[in-house]
Structure 1
Amino acid sequence: MNDTIEDPVDRRSVPARVGVAALNLILPGLGLIRIGDWRGALFFVAPVALGALITFGFGHLPITGFGTAVSALVLVTVLLAAMYIAPILLTWRQSRHRIPSRWWSRWYALMPMTVVVLGLLQSAAPLMHHFYKPFYAPSDSMAPTIGSDDKFVVDMRWRGPPKRGDVIVFQAADSVRVSRIAAISGDRIAMRAGLLIVNGGAVAQHTEGRVMVDDIDGRHPATILRERLPSERSSHRILDTDTSLFDDTREVTVPPGHIFVLGDNRDRSADSRMPVEQQGVGMVPVTAIIGEAMYIHWSRDHAKIGNRLDR
């Protein structure tokens, strides 16, 4: 007669524990679910929570300098690491003993669960981009405000109305572009010797200084001007490099449902002064506006990080 009582709890081998803990690398919390800890499912929302923190945090609490940018990057890295390390450690600690599996912790339940959750996570980023979305500038057409390779956040919730001075991202015929609204529907606009004329009045400008700028032909001196459009919330800076074909343009009236845009780098911008046939954008339909630029979140010029573009 055998009086041995069999313990239903078995010990897992080290390789088995490593394998279960590694499931969390596929999906945070998956290893915990495998060992029967339903609370591990709470980690499924960690990537979404982190993405929301980055998206909405950057949208409402913009970076205000290089030091803040580095701190934010470190914080995001720490949170990302914790999102994976925490469930791995918890799984390792709780996986020493094997307990009877529940139906939702078996392999046949984990596989479809993983597919569904990963599918939802993939759709989370595009959903967040309906609120805020990062862009980068491929050229210096908006210098000195936005330089080549500067990265900036755009408010995708923009619904108008368009206002003079707003820095917007819009869909052009061949690409997505960023420019400043210089005139709105019904405005009359022209250029006279490089000076902007809106509704018959010259836009106020004053010189701030001289800088050297890079161009395809090398480095050239340029004048920094401070300009303020009619009813613009605050002034902005523009670059005057030299004379160009578009320093003088005939007066045109912006048709209904359209805007007239200009680059802040006036002599190096293919904007509404140029027709589409000449690589410009012509009059831009309001419906082509994607969103309003909010602030620069990364730039090689560290002093520009955190600069607001919507004030």
Structure 2
Amino acid sequence: MSEELESGVWASVKETVKTIVYALLIAGTFRTLFFQPFWIPSGSMKDTLLIGDFLFVNKMAYGYSYASCPSIKIPSLGVDIDAEDFCGVFKGAEKRFLGSEPEVGDVIVFRHPVTGVDFVKRLIGKPGDRIQMIDSVLHINGSPVELERVADFEEPYAPQGAQNSIPRCANTVTSQGDTCIKERYIETLPNGAKHSILNIAVQRADDTGVYTVPEGHYFFMGDNRDNSVDSRFPQSEGGVEFVPAENLVGRADRIIFSSAGRSMLAFWTWRMDRFFEVVE
């Protein structure tokens, strides 16, 4: 190989490497400061969010904290880099940079206070609020929320998503492919925010004591009320209890893509009607 050709090859390689590095830096900055992709793995937020929905989480909505830094987890390659590895020095800060207060009813991605795993739930209680479930009805500051019974939520009784999750049903199902039914209501929060919730059966979390949200923390619940491990449950049972303000990652504003199958490449399972749908 001539010196001129060798020099040209190395120059080309260097330019390619520089392009890749710049692209990664731009992508990393974009993800850290503006939007973070989030894939819905479980059914705790049905029917607002379905297993296989793909979101971009708006990180600008509530400002920035250590939780705004990305986590990179690739089990097949042994990669497990947590947000604390990048920005742990900022953990424990009293205020979020450029912070703004979330609204009750917002659908929010946050880091679990103990495990650091990303969760997505609906904000139900802010600091000072008193939250209680009585006979399956949410009470905020001593008053029951308004509920309106609407058409049942129906889905196939079959494995869902990459985890092959089997849905829980309010009706009796005997075989795969049967119609799985859940009661559906429109819940109106004190600030007027409306959203759909599901009911499956009577269980322990339908009647609780009073949770008083401490300063600097928030109370979250899933819309699929009988299939959500949330702030109603202690951390010893996998619950989240009260979530510190610094653990908020961002607001889920819009579904970008949705697939009912195990892989996003299975185009015949795409839910085209959910593409770019607003999260309410």
**Above 0.5 in TM-score?**
yes
Alignment of 1:203 with 2:151, yes or no, is: no
1:88-107 mapped onto 2 (5 Å cutoff): 106-107=8-9
Q: Which residue of 1 aligns with 2:81?
A: none
1:264-279 mapped onto 2 (5 Å cutoff): 264-279=223-238
Q: Which amino acid is the alignment partner of residue 101 of structure 2?
A: P
Range with bigger deviation, 115-124 or 172-181: 115-124
Q: Which amino acid is the alignment partner of residue 135 of structure 2?
A: A
Tell me, what secondary structure is at the counterpart of 2:273? helix
* Structure of greater relative contact order (alpha carbons < 8 Å, 6+ residues apart): 2
Identity %: 32
Q: Which amino acid is the alignment partner of residue 231 of structure 1?
A: N
Q: Which residue of 2 aligns with 1:143?
A: 46
**Cα shift at 1:111:** 3.3
Alignment of 1:125 with 2:67, yes or no, is: no
Alignment of 1:185 with 2:143, yes or no, is: no
Alpha carbons of 1:193 and 1:216: their partners in 2 closer, same or farther (altered >3 Å)?
A: closer
Q: TM-score, normalised by structure 1?
A: 0.62
Range with bigger deviation, 210-219 or 166-175: 210-219
- Where do 4+ consecutive residues of structure 1 move more than 6 Å? none
**Cα shift at 1:259:** 0.4
Alpha carbons of 1:242 and 1:216: their partners in 2 closer, same or farther (altered >3 Å)?
A: closer
**Alignment deviations for residues 87-123 of structure 1 (CA, whole Å, 9 cap, x no partner):** xxxxxxxxxxxxxx8xxx8344333333222211122
Find the aligned partners of 2:102 and 2:10 in 1 and give their Cα distance. 54
Q: Which residue of 1 aligns with 2:277?
A: 307
Alpha carbons of 1:271 and 1:111: their partners in 2 closer, same or farther (altered >3 Å)?
A: same
Match of 1:226 among 186, 210, 226: 186
Q: Which amino acid is the alignment partner of residue 195 of structure 1?
A: V
**Alignment deviations for residues 25-53 of structure 1 (CA, whole Å, 9 cap, x no partner):** xxxxxxxxxxxxxxxxxxxxxxxxxxxxx
**Cα shift at 1:280:** 0.9
Q: Which runs of 5+ in 2 are unaligned?
A: 64-99, 158-166, 174-178, 261-270
Alpha carbons of 1:302 and 1:107: their partners in 2 closer, same or farther (altered >3 Å)?
A: closer
Q: Which residue of 1 aligns with 2:103?
A: 163
Tell me, what secondary structure is at the counterpart of 2:23? helix
Contact 2:168 2:200 in 1 (8 A): no
Match of 1:251 among 210, 232, 240: 210
Tell me, what secondary structure is at the counterpart of 2:184? strand
Tell me, what secondary structure is at the counterpart of 1:249? coil
**Cα shift at 1:305:** 2.5
Tell me, what secondary structure is at the counterpart of 2:102? coil
**Cα shift at 1:221:** 2.5
Q: Which residue of 2 aligns with 1:260?
A: 219
Contact 2:216 2:245 in 1 (8 A): yes
Contact 1:220 1:241 in 2 (8 A): no
User: Which has more radius of gyration?
Assistant: 1
Tell me, what secondary structure is at the counterpart of 2:209? strand
Find the aligned partners of 1:260 and 1:161 in 2 and give their Cα distance. 14
Find the aligned partners of 1:244 and 1:250 in 2 and give their Cα distance. 14
Alpha carbons of 1:216 and 1:226: their partners in 2 closer, same or farther (altered >3 Å)?
A: closer
Q: Which residue of 1 aligns with 2:85?
A: none
Q: TM-score, normalised by structure 2?
A: 0.69
Tell me, what secondary structure is at the counterpart of 1:250? coil
Q: Which residue of 1 aligns with 2:263?
A: none
Number of corresponding residues: 208
**Cα shift at 1:220:** 4.1
Tell me, what secondary structure is at the counterpart of 1:114? helix
Find the aligned partners of 1:134 and 1:294 in 2 and give their Cα distance. 12
Q: More helix by proportion, 1 or 2?
A: 1
Find the aligned partners of 1:184 and 1:117 in 2 and give their Cα distance. 45
Alignment of 1:109 with 2:11, yes or no, is: yes
